[in-house]
Amino acid sequence: MGGRFSAAILVAAVTVGAAGAAAAEENPIYLPITDLLPGLVNAGGQDRGIPCPKGKPRCVDRTLKRMRRLQRRDGCDHKGLFLSNYIVVTREYARIARTGTRRRPRHSDHFEDPAWLAREDALFAKQYFVVRRHWREGRRDLVPEAWRIALGEADARSMTGLGDLLLGISAHVNNDMPFMIAGVGLRDKRGRSHKVDHDRFNRALSDSFDDVLEDVAARYDPAANLDVPGTELEKTAIYQLLALQREAVWRNAERLESARTNAERRQVARSIEDHAALQSRLLLPLFRSPDGSVERDAYCRAQLG
């Protein structure tokens, strides 16, 4: 039921702008609904095997460098739409999370625990790179189902540009993020929840949403930009869906940390992966391309030279 509700919200997000053109805004409206929901105090701790273990501000530079290298290799591959989004969002994170000079960056005071965000950013990206490597090497049994759907449809070139983008976002958020958060830990050494910073990052997503769609439209598919003249409601609706998904992600991370045995953890993990796959499957009929991808592929080749 929850998956169908999310899909219904997504359909509304794509179409609502046409009915609300009178409500003009410069940026998507930020509604901090999930900020009001506190985190629980759970047992558990940080995964010692994560990258960027000290949470240094320079870690994000290595992540962006690797992302851009992969983006160049992707070219007009349909997997590039999600990666383009990922680069824009990571750039925005770097902008707000750091101060100082390029050679000597420092954490800004935007987040309560910036080192935690740095570890989170590094581990989240590592999950994506591992999935892409397994897919490239043909080790599909190691790829979660939500990602098999997203990457398989990208290879088949069967979705609209917006569909490719949303399938990637859905897989990374719904499937990967709960495990990432559980890996870096939900609390600091004093037992304080990191949920405040998790929710604060929602604002960065809201602020970067226009840039994401503009970049994807400029590089890959002009039809992917949900720019309905005179309103930002359609983007606001999609952003709010993402914020609600991130709230569910935090709760799933709490479930992972609260699992008392390996069997319980496997059960929780399976439910997370099943839910993520369901979200992906619900997107398929909504964003299947009726005309193939010849036109958008030609557009992309022209843009990239």
Q: How high is the pLDDT of residue 232?
A: 64
Confidence of residue 242 (pLDDT cuts 50, 70, 90): confident
In a domain, 99, yes or no: yes
Helix (H) or strand (E) holding 109: none
In a domain, 12, yes or no: no
Residue with tokens 């993402």: 242
Integer CA distances (angstroms), 262 to 3, 195, 267, 269, in order:
27, 25, 9, 10
Of the chain, the percentage scoring pLDDT greater than 90 comes to 70
- Output the pTM of the full model: 0.84
In a domain, 232, yes or no: yes
Q: How high is the pLDDT of residue 77?
A: 98
In a domain, 275, yes or no: yes
- In this predicted model, what pLDDT tens digit does every residue of 144-170 receive, in sequence order? 999 999 999 999 999 999 999 999 999
Number of domains in the chain: 1
The rounded mean pLDDT for the chain is 85
In a domain, 164, yes or no: yes
- In this predicted model, what pLDDT tens digit does every residue of 74-94 receive, in sequence order? 999 999 999 999 999 999 999
Among the listed ranges 64-68, 116-120, 227-231, which one has the minimum average pLDDT value?
227-231
Q: How high is the pLDDT of residue 209?
A: 83
Q: Is the pLDDT of residue 36 over 50?
A: no
What domain range includes position 250? 48-304
> What is the average pLDDT across 260-265?
94
- The more confidently predicted of residues 237 and 175 is 175
Q: How high is the pLDDT of residue 37?
A: 40
- The more confidently predicted of residues 143 and 202 is 143
Q: Is the pLDDT of residue 253 over 80?
A: yes
Confidence of residue 40 (pLDDT cuts 50, 70, 90): very low
Confidence of residue 222 (pLDDT cuts 50, 70, 90): very high
Confidence of residue 227 (pLDDT cuts 50, 70, 90): low
Q: How high is the pLDDT of residue 291?
A: 87
- The more confidently predicted of residues 282 and 34 is 282
User: Is the CB of residue 255 less than 8 Å from the CB of residue 124?
Assistant: no
Integer CA distances (angstroms), 136 to 70, 139, 148, 212, in order:
12, 8, 12, 25
Q: How high is the pLDDT of residue 234?
A: 61
Q: Is the pLDDT of residue 11 over 90?
A: no
In a domain, 14, yes or no: no
> Going by C-beta distance under 8 Å and a sequence separation of 6 or more, which residues neighbour residue 98?
57, 60, 105, 106, 107, 108
In a domain, 271, yes or no: yes
> What is the average pLDDT across 44-66?
82
Q: How high is the pLDDT of residue 204?
A: 83
> What is the average pLDDT across 203-219?
88
CA-to-CA distance for 298 and 102, rounded, in angstroms?
A: 37
Helix (H) or strand (E) holding 105: strand 105-107
What is the β-pairing status of strands 98-100 and 105-107?
Answer: antiparallel
In a domain, 28, yes or no: no
